[in-house]
Chain A
């Protein structure tokens, strides 16, 4: 996809969130007419949302890691989370599939609404197992299971109760094709996933996440363990994936955020400082902290 095409995505004006209180989107300076008709009532300036974090706080024991974060995730777009280490990016991302539930003494507050069902992901009434089936995740380090390439991709399908061998085969193939790794692995599906290179393993993990056709994708620094060429392939893949999914990606790499994302959220000390179209965040940030960070003055 060319740079122009990437920037041709509908974009909102960027919004400075001061502390916890500013209602999202109300301060947007301009509004594009073609977006309003399909938009959610929650934020009239944005195209249809896939999810919306509302006053999301998170606690590790008594330590508050996230402070009332309001962040919309636009469907079929990539939203990047940037910010210095320890600012809560990964913590925020991991709220979306309730993976914090695996650890004791963690607590969520607020809401994450998942559209179109409008279910609150972090509600006690919502089953985390079901949410994890509906929301795929890719981790920082490639983490295939020590099983065959086929079994890795088929695992999510098996968890969903698919037993039919033909269906499994077809859907594994589709997933591997959609993550552009099919040609590299089609002749060795029964070989161990550990025989693959790091970059291939990460694409396999993405295939594993999309095989069960989740509603959205979470990516926690998916390229941080990879060399630039492998990272480039993953970035290409992310641009492809957004045709089908809302993608939330944590990244430490400013260039990657500016290349691969449509929207960017800058977080600092567990708070959302600024959210807006990626071009605006990088060329015309409203907040001084964002500007300092994206220009490399701190972080």
Chain B
């Protein structure tokens, strides 16, 4: 009997070790893929990465081309995306979690938002082209592109907001209500503040997703050869041109990179790899910020 028990225990332990090895293997495959990708990119593009590359307009000659227009374009488009998707998404998330009656309609909306998050991004491009470019006559502009990406990441912001609100325990809400707070006071003084860590994380993840989007902006009409920047919002006389940049044509980093990749010469491929490094650096930095924000929020608030 004892011997049999020992046998069973030994077998269980073997299974345990086996699964552990399997897990390590899977993790390593994922990590190795990332490492190879980054390594290849760095190997091809790093030598091309200098000040001239960051501050030059595109050019027919690969060695004098740069990503200035694309960087500024990405920045401007993401600014529009953030300014539209963040307030809308947070407001919608708060409404659905705190105000809406939990009934059939709420469930339908919930399912559809989840569906929206799964719609291929090129479809959003078509939507943006039809709605913003043609119907509202906003042109192939930074505004159209930003609004389109805003729609694209809206579900992410909504879901992140709702998840963050859901982690706030019932007894904290009840404490505020029991002192005589109205729903709006509970939301404003408590829930949104305590959820801010989770919401910010979601927002940053959403924006870093938007930065990398290529397909919808091809549809909207991002250009890849542009030798001027949008009008500065501070162009004199000051307030008159503050919004001109929204109507400007634009280039963005992923599309610039895609364009260079499709050129036949090796030099342009090096440019593509270099802009890829910039793109990855930006998104990884944003993700790191998201992790830091979440860590800070968790450290300050533990339920």
Chain A residues within CB distance 8 Å of chain B: 97, 99, 102, 104, 129-130, 132-133, 136-137, 139-141, 143-146, 155-156, 159-160, 192, 194, 205, 208-209, 212
In contact, B180 and A133 (Cβ under 8 angstroms): yes
Query: In the bound complex, what is the Cα–Cα distance between A193 and B157 (angstroms)?
Result: 30
Complex Cα distance A137/B179, Å? Answer: 8
Q: In the docked arrangement, what's the CA distance between A212 and B176, Å?
A: 13
Q: Which 5 A-B pairs have the closest CB atoms?
A: A133-B180, A132-B180, A137-B178, A143-B171, A156-B179
Count of inter-chain pairs, beta carbons less than 8 A: 62
Q: What's the Cα separation between A160 and B182 when bound, in Å?
A: 11
A139/B175 contact (C-beta < 8 A), A129-B182, A133-B180, A156-B180 known: yes
Are A145 and B175 neighbours in the complex by a CB distance under 8 Å? yes
Contacts of B104 in A (CB 8 A): none
Is there contact, CB below 8 Å, between B185 and A159? yes
A192 neighbours in B (Cβ, 8 Å): 300
- Complex CA gap A99/B173 in Å reads 11
Give residues in B with beta carbon < 8 Å to A: 101-102, 169, 171-182, 185, 189-190, 194, 300-302
A139 and B173 CA atoms in complex are apart in Å by 12
With A and B bound together, what is the CA distance between A132 and B174 in angstroms?
11
Contact across chains for A208 and B179 when beta carbons are under 8 A apart: yes
Complex CA gap A156/B177 in Å reads 10
Pair B172/A143 contact, Cβ less than 8 Å: yes
Residues in B neighbouring A133, C-beta threshold 8 A: 179-180
Q: From A152, which residue of chain B is reached at the shortest CB distance? A: B175
A139 touches B171 (CB 8 A): yes
Residues of B near A140 (CB, < 8 A) are 171
Question: Smallest Cβ distance from B204 to chain A, in angstroms?
Answer: 22
B268 CB, min distance to chain A CBs, angstroms: 53
Per the bound structure, the CA–CA distance linking A156 and B181 in Å amounts to 8
Query: Measured between alpha carbons, how far is A137 from B177 in the docked complex, in Å?
Result: 10
Q: A104-B101, A129-B182, A159-B185 are in contact. Are A143 and B177 (CB under 8 A)?
A: no
Bound CA span A205–B300, Å: 19
**B186 → chain A closest CB, angstroms:** 10
State the Cβ distance, B205 to closest chain A Cβ, in Å.
23
Select from chain A the residue with minimum beta-carbon distance to B102: A104
Q: How far is the CB of A269 from chain B (nearest CB, A)?
A: 25
Tell me if B102 and A132 are in contact (CB < 8 A). Answer: no
On whether the beta carbons of A159 and B172 are closer than 8 Å, the reply is no
Query: Which chain B positions have C-beta within 8 A of A136?
Result: 178-179
Contact with B190, one of A129, A145, A209 (Cβ below 8 angstroms):
A145
Q: Which residues of A contact B179 (CB under 8 A)?
A: 132-133, 136, 155-156, 159, 208-209, 212
Question: When chains A and B are docked, how far (Å) is the Cα of A146 from the Cα of B172?
Answer: 9
Task: State the CA gap A141–B172 with chains docked (Å).
Answer: 10
- Chain B nearest CB from A172 CB (Å) reads 14
Q: Which of A97, A133, A145, A209 has the most CB of B within 10 A?
A: A145
Task: Please report the C-alpha to C-alpha distance between residue A133 and residue B177 in the assembled complex, in whole angstroms.
Answer: 9
Residues from chain A with Cβ under 8 Å of B172 in the complex = 143, 145-146
Of the candidates B176, B177, B180, B182, the one whose C-beta lies within 8 Å of that of A145 is: B176
B91 CB, min distance to chain A CBs, angstroms: 21
Check A102–B177 contact: CB distance below 8 A.
yes
Of chain A, the residue at the smallest CB distance from B190 is: A145
Docked-complex contact B175 and A159, CB < 8 angstroms:
no
Q: A102-B174, A146-B194, A159-B179 are in contact. List 11 more A-B contacts (CB 8 A).
A: A132-B177, A132-B180, A136-B179, A141-B171, A143-B169, A143-B172, A145-B175, A156-B179, A194-B302, A205-B175, A212-B180
- Cβ contacts A to B, 10 pairs, < 8 Å: A99-B177, A129-B182, A130-B180, A133-B180, A139-B178, A140-B171, A146-B194, A156-B180, A159-B181, A209-B179
B186's nearest neighbour on chain A, judged by CB, is: A102
Q: Which of A130, A133, A159 has the most CB of B within 10 A?
A: A159
Complex partner residue of B178 from A97, A141, A144, A194, CB under 8 angstroms: A97
Which residue of chain B has its CB nearest to the CB of A218?
B178
Q: How far is the CA of A102 from the CA of B302 in the complex (A)?
A: 24
Contact of A143 among B175, B181, B182 (CB under 8 A): B175
Chain B residues with Cβ under 8 A from A139's Cβ? 171, 174-175, 178
Given the contacts A104-B102, A141-B171, A159-B185, A146 and B301 also touching, CB distance less than 8 Å:
yes
Q: How far is the CB of A121 from chain B (nearest CB, A)?
A: 13
A99 to B176, CA, bound (A): 11
In the complex, what's the smallest C-beta–C-beta distance from A103 to chain B, in angstroms? 10
**Is B302 touching A99 in the complex (CB atoms < 8 A)?**
no
Q: Do A99 and B171 have beta carbons less than 8 Å apart? A: no
Residue of B nearest to A155 (CB): B179
| Neighbouring B residues of A130 by C-beta, 8 Å | 180
